[in-house]
Chain A
Amino acid sequence: MGRGDLALPPTTDRMDFPGLLAQLLNGVQYGLLLFLIASGLTLIFGVMGIINLAHGSLFMIGAYVAFLVARQWGSVWLALPVAVAAGIALGLVLERGLFRHFYAREHLDQVLLTFALILLFEEARSLLVGNDFYSVPVPSLLDFSVPITAGFSYSAYRFAVIGICLALALAMFWWIERTRMGAVIRAAAEKPEMVDVLGIDARRVHMAVFAIGTALALVAGVLAAPLYSVYPNMGDGFLIISFVVVVIGGLGSVSGAFWSALVIGLVDTLGKGYAPKLAGLAVYVLIRAAHMIPRGTSGLIGLGLAATLLAVLPLLVSPYYVELGTYALISAMLALSLQLLVGCTGLVSLGHAAFYGLAAYTVYLVTPASRGLSILVTLPLAVVVAGLAALVVGALSLRTRGFFFLMVTLAFGQMLFFLFHDTKLGGGTDGAFLARPLLSIFDWQLPLSRRQRPYAVYYVSLVLLAAMYLGLVLILRSLFGRVLEGIRVNEHRMQALGFDTYRYKLAAFTIAGMLAGVAGHMWAMHRGFVNPELIGWHRSAEALLMILLGGLTTLHGPILGALAYTALGEVAQLITERQLLVEGLVVLFVVIALPKGLSGIALPRILRRIAPADPAKATVAGAGPNG
């Protein structure tokens, strides 16, 4: 996420007047680019209720269009009409082919759909262009500096970017404020059911909004390419910041997005200029400020079989697969801990991996270089740290609902990501290795050979996973578990019944964070290595995916899903180097064809007998933006 760091004009350490001016102009230019991305995001959310996480990938596509066009024909200018045309076409295809079928679905399905798109777009990019960094030349027409004061001049290209963005912003305002379709869009953002009342063909509006939003993201990518270079996953950093812009600006508000994009562009740029280390975090704190303003038996047999199979597995397979199995068990713990929130309480968090990663980092930070610590020290410590973090994050984020909750948890997760990414606390971007040997009990080092260790980690993970599963079964059968179920089905009614639902949700959030800490602890034990990716939202999205893959309504679902997901990645790797491509396609398939996950196909009859016609689905969706 080198956004912004790569191509800022050189600034002096002392902030004199020209330096400040340069930073201000950079801030405005960055903010306006953010606006192009955020305006599409906010419209797509406002009108269709879709959270398009792939919007950052659209931006990336734009940047690569600029790169390819410039390489082919030697001019970035040509890339602009190409991006507009490609954007509109891509937007129409996505809307008609995919998104249209997801408007009435839950946030979770939408998130996973767009996550699948990210995987596919990234893989396509890798196939077509490769994984290298490329620079894109500034168009020769504008490759000069405009003198402003005696000692200070500013890039003509950046001025041009500011100009183009402003022109596009004006055109947007005109479209939204002055045209009939704009009036419908404003009405829809305020009250979705209004569109039908106004008698305008909603499908036309949806297609237009998606096409224009997509085109704007591509144009932003083209404009950004000469400034920031093009590189894999470049959309990520812009996406997260754009979500912050959207939330602060007000969902569905284009003018709100405009002003908040400018503010955030300035805050981020000036912050980087003046306090580089803190800036990454500062912006995410804003998101908080912004939201203050709005305010059976057959199962037991199967389970026994599965547990037995997992227990004997290491005896049957090569050490490589024992390691893979350990990884699958750890993923299963992560997914299971998240299930307490998603499937049991109806809370879809996009920041769950933060607690997992934080626990892994805790193990790293407390382990001295010379010797390994007892698991009786590291495990409780990791769990307590993860739990405390979850308590704090939960206390702040659980005041929000639906989309806001998604975004706030995402933002907190990314805060932690940047904490470890941008500081030397845990080895920075590259991560760090732990001292070995790791697994010991009390002060007694297990006399494990290099060959035995993986087996020990495998079995410890298996025991912890089993304990976690049984613990959650007991929780769900308790009075507490019933409250969580009630909250998932109808939170408003729970409050009317006399439950302070906030406290119950916070307790669930904290427990889930602690359990994720167990998983993170075992990851550190397993790999002996920590890096920021453990915390990033991709890992959180993966965990959601495992849950969806396995099924939302059961506790064995996430375990099944995690095992299937790990196996899937492995198989994909065997048959093709394009692992993400296969994963992306499978995610698409699951989201579209198997909304109940694997357990939905594995045991349909039994499930139907236990839980006849599931009206809970509608109520979970009711936790959406308008619920």
Chain B
Amino acid sequence: MAEARPSTPPVLATYGLTRNFGGLVAVRDVSIVLRQGELHAVIGPNGAGKTTLVNMLSGEIRPTAGRIELMGRDVAGAPSWRMTGLGVGRSFQRTNIFASLTVLENVRLAVQAVSASARHLLREVSRETVLIERAERALQHVGLADAAPRVAGVLSHGEQRQLEIAMALASGPKVLLLDEPLAGMGPEESQRMTALLKGLAREHALLLIEHDMDFVFAVADWMTVMAEGTVLAEGRPEAIRANTAVQDAYLGGHV
């Protein structure tokens, strides 16, 4: 692990992060660093604790032990709405949107969550043009601008995944946590998403969970391999590919 990493400042770091569910340790002593402008991929077999790790970073789950430092400040245990306010945006493994609302409203709510002041709370929505413009920009960013007036529930699966990312982007996060953004996508949609993620990685500290190995090795700047709740290895993709422990434990014949 003597790999040189980009020298951009760490945005989010964990120290000894641990989470138990009853007697089961889902995540044990995980220390990782997310840096500005770096695409950090977390891989590992099912049950390795990847989603639990993301859920702790996003505030959905309280860590049992350990620290989460967001720009030097310990934020472990803060609820999800506060983490979002502090600059952590996320997408969910299973599409999690407001199915009965319009695409624009889905994103507009995301913008409102972090930027509307209490004084404006009773103002009519249509007069809050700043919020709407920002939502439209986020939709443009992910290529969904044309879908804005449609009801989110009728979008294709791939479009809903894009919407998820637009919602995460809308809050203007510093850290983006994406849980399997390619899940269930066709080849064409995957390609578009890949391009999108590469672009996002330049402006954010991006953590990605993904099962598609070809994709991960193609886009990741840095990788963490998890197994049974712990970090098995970390390093640049080339180093991970060459790591025999990783090959034995996880990658199998894939590489």
Chain A residues with CB under 8 Å of chain B are: 474-475, 477-483, 485-486, 489-490, 492-501, 611-616, 618-619
Contact = CB atoms under 8 A, between A and B. Distances in A.
Nearest to B99: A615
A246 to B, nearest CB: 24
Interface in B149-175: 151, 153-154, 167, 171
A496 B122 CA distance: 22
Contacts of A496: 58, 60, 80-81, 84, 90, 92, 96
A477 B81 CA distance: 23
B123 A489 contact: no
Contacts of A485: 101
A479 B98 contact: no
Contact of B100 (A481, A489, A494): A489
B121 A615 contact: no
A490 B100 CA distance: 10
Contacts of B85: 498
B203 interface: no
A477 B125 CA distance: 6
Interface in B77-134: 79-82, 84-85, 90, 92, 96-101, 105, 108-110, 112-114, 116, 120-126, 128, 131
Contacts of B105: 482
Interface of B: 58, 60, 79-82, 84-85, 90, 92, 96-101, 105, 108-110, 112-114, 116, 120-126, 128, 131, 151, 153-154, 167, 171
A498 B171 contact: yes
Contact of B99 (A474, A478, A482, A489): A489
A613 B112 CA distance: 26
10 contacts: A475-B122, A478-B124, A483-B112, A485-B101, A489-B99, A490-B97, A498-B81, A498-B114, A611-B100, A615-B100
Given A494-B81, A616-B99, 8 more contacts: A479-B116, A479-B121, A486-B98, A489-B100, A490-B96, A497-B167, A498-B114, A613-B153
Given A495-B79, A497-B167, A499-B81, A482 B125 contact: yes
Nearest to A504: B121
Interface of A, helix, strand, loop or mixed by DSSP: helix
A216 B122 CA distance: 52
Rank and list the top 4 A-B pairs by shortest CB-CB distance, nearest first.
Answer: A498-B84, A498-B113, A616-B100, A497-B113
A473 B207 CA distance: 42
A265 B114 CA distance: 50
A504 to B, nearest CB: 9
Contacts of A489: 98-101
B128 A479 contact: yes
Given A479-B116, A498-B81, A486 B109 contact: yes
Contact of B124 (A477, A483, A490): A477
